[in-house]
Amino acid sequence: MTKKTTKAAASKKSEGTTSRGGNGGATRGRSAGGNAEGGSERTGKVAKTQLVEQVAEKTGLTKKQSEEAVSAMLDVVVDAIRSGQSVGLPGLGTLSVKATAARTGVRPGTSEKIQIPAGKKVAFKVASTLKGNL
């Protein structure tokens, strides 16, 4: 009995490891994307590889060319946000950097009051056209 239980536990453990591994996340992303095509568009996440495939289909570019285009666009957006600029994406919305004020917070569990320093955060304002279509 003990050996069978150990083998079953080992096989379950190895299955769990593969589903949580580096490639397992990509597999889950692909299956979620497959569900999005199947009709439940609001569940799952569109991964970069899926964006690249869709850009390649819509533009007629090769996957390598569309990957370079998507990466370049994302790099430009990230660089602009890092430099404090707002980025407008027509039909989608606007990404901007907002300053947060210093404030007093409470540490969970101990109820100890802590001082949270001022910082910056990325804000996203949805375009009215997209908001109206949701």
Cβ burial, residue 47 (10 Å; 0-12/13-18/19+): middle
| Cα–Cα distance, 79 to 95 (Å, whole number) | 12
pTM here? 0.59
With both helix axes pointing from N to C terminus, report the angle between 63-82 and 48-59 in degrees, rounded to the nearest 10: 120
Mean confidence (pLDDT) of the chain: 78
pLDDT at 90 over 60: yes
Say whether pLDDT at 31 is over 60. no
| Structure confidence at residue 9 as a pLDDT band (50, 70, 90) | very low
Residue 70 has pLDDT above 90, yes or no: yes
Query: pLDDT at residue 20 above 70?
Result: no
